[in-house]
Structure 1
């Protein structure tokens, strides 16, 4: 093997190693791609949609009502999925309730233009504890969420869903509603 060929191989190997390390660092700490496996977030997210998750912004700003978050399920959920995706409805200290198909936050009806359909079942007033949020799917009658397993510890949040990138005809930035 000539010295030129060996030098080229070493340069390529170095480039590949740097690319792999950068990819792992970015995926672990900055952003991560996810896909939607269920109908719990219809109509906002469809089965098979691919989205990018921002894993860093919550280091600098707080979680907001309406954010769509990716998280590891709490132990109380008793499910095996690696990650779930839902919308933040209640923040720490908020009292969440559902009466006559309407979600109330601190006694005021929540405006929810993103819903597929309003929830069928009522929920007694529940105060979200510190360091937790209350999450629900946009497809309220087909979502396993905080109504069933309780508040989500904020430590379980992996990141905020930022935008859909695939399929290409679904491209969009995800907003709070």
Structure 2
């Protein structure tokens, strides 16, 4: 098989990250429509991620946030998004580059995307568990892709579906 010098895998991931960017931009402008809400998992130590030392200590490798009822100041740029959430009653502002996102899932319509974040963690590493968090803050332990896998009617788009089999 010929070597992929164009790097279609990277181009496809960038295009799918554009879907997440577009959705979040629209939500920042108009709010969440209908029953839509999002589970977004990301690598906490990826370049450009900003969160408090308290959260970083609790979620050393990966974190999943839920944008549903209680979030504020959602701002989206070409490369990242910023959002306010409450954790154990304490407000926090998070900055998450799209390159750090590992999964995006909207359970209202069973739609999900999985990504290979830049400088991703070893696949054998697991996300840290959340304890005592509100439902709208963090989905304990499970990244968006794992949540999607638990739903029988899921429609997770994996890049492997588009790769040629050897």
TM range (shorter): under 0.3
Normalising by structure 1, we get a TM-score of: 0.23
**Greater CA radius of gyration, 1 or 2?**
1
State the TM-score, normalizing by the size of structure 2.
0.23
